[in-house]
Amino acid sequence: MSRIAYVNGLYLPHAEAGVHIEDRGFQFADGVYEVCEILGGHLVDETRHIDRLLRSLGELRMAMPMSRAALGVVMREVVRRNRVRDGVVYVQVTRGVARRDFLFPAGVAPTLVVTARPADRAKTEMTAATGISVITLPENRWERVDIKTVGLLPNCLAKEAAKAAGAREAWYVDRDGFITEGGSSNAWIVSAGGALITRPAEFGILRGITRTVTLEVARRLNLTVEERPFAREEAYAAVEAFGTSASLGVMPVVRLDGRVVGDGKPGRAARALRAEFHKVAEIAP
Ligand code: PDD
């Protein structure tokens, strides 16, 4: 079955789908995106993802290409046409096509691309059952990582470095020695006292949708949560660690820079949060 992509009003086979060579997304990474989980054919946390897309667009003075209701229809149609049961839908908006100039062009229509792809749920569950390895790297991104832009080259480099070290994810460490977030996930640890610790999302990280929902799951499970920065040394001493993202959910971390975290197995809190997650997330009809 050929994969179908939505590009500016058309549903096209991937091989025929494309954008202009002077699209500002291509030339300047002048675009934003969302990755939304699909579970059993349903969008997970669509409202929060579209809210965040609107925020990212607003921060960059970029226009929303269509109403949020219309975007919801397109996302569902792309999921349907690709027959995705479990996977992700990807939405990208760029400032559009214009002669290459640093200044924002006037009167240009934004570009909208929507794709969907299946994920191997059983494989992800197996990964979650054993946990992943993470390395740490110096933070080297711009300050506005709260905006979900397609400018992800530092993140690609970080994840390449992780792979070269036999790890799955890289956590950035800021100049003061505090963990910010992962290359494509938010970072969490659990203290010896059982408190969940994750960095506040006001500065230096993306406010992950999975992070937001996980905070709510934690509250419902009566787990103690401390939203505060934590240092790499504190993470080394943690009894548990995990990451959160739309594509992997709550993902236990069992090794950090080659050191065993806790007892080297996915922790109790991470497992409980993962198990309860979809009971709290918004599952769209
Ligand atoms: N990444 N931090 C970064 C830098 C991310 O790229 C992501 C998501 C997250 C987690 O956000 P959320 O819970 O909303 O997925 C945090 C997506 C999955 C990606 O780029 O593929």
Provide DSSP, 119-168. --HHHHHHHHHH-EEEEEEE--S-S-TTS-BS--HHHHHHHHHHHHTT-S
Indicate whether residue 76 lines ligand 1 (CB < 6 A).
Answer: no
Record the tokens describing residue 64, joined without a space: 């929303």
To test ligand 1's pocket by mutation, which of 35, 146, 149 has the most ligand atoms within 8 angstroms of CB?
35
pTM recorded for the entire structure: 0.97
User: How confident is the model over 5-21, as pLDDT tens digits?
Assistant: 999 999 999 999 999 99
User: How confident is the model over 36-93, as pLDDT tens digits?
Assistant: 999 999 999 999 999 999 999 999 999 999 999 999 999 999 999 999 999 999 999 9
Instruction: Look over the chain and give the mean of its residue pLDDT values, rounded to a whole number.
Output: 97
User: For 266-283, what is the mean pLDDT?
Assistant: 98
User: How confident is the model over 193-241, as pLDDT tens digits?
Assistant: 999 999 999 999 999 999 999 999 999 999 999 999 999 999 999 999 9
| 3-class SS of residue 186 | strand
Question: Cα separation of 56 and 147, whole Å?
Answer: 5
Phi, psi of 135 (to 5 degrees): -110, 165
CB atoms within 10 A of CB 61: 8
Indicate whether residue 244 lines ligand 1 (CB < 6 A).
Answer: yes
User: pLDDT class for 285, splitting at 50, 70, 90?
Assistant: confident
To test ligand 1's pocket by mutation, which of 55, 206, 214, 244 has the most ligand atoms within 8 angstroms of CB?
206
Give the domains, in start order, of the chain with CATH numbers.
4-119 (3.30.470.10), 124-280 (3.20.10.10)
Based on the residue annotation, tell me whether 148 is a catalytic residue of this protein: yes
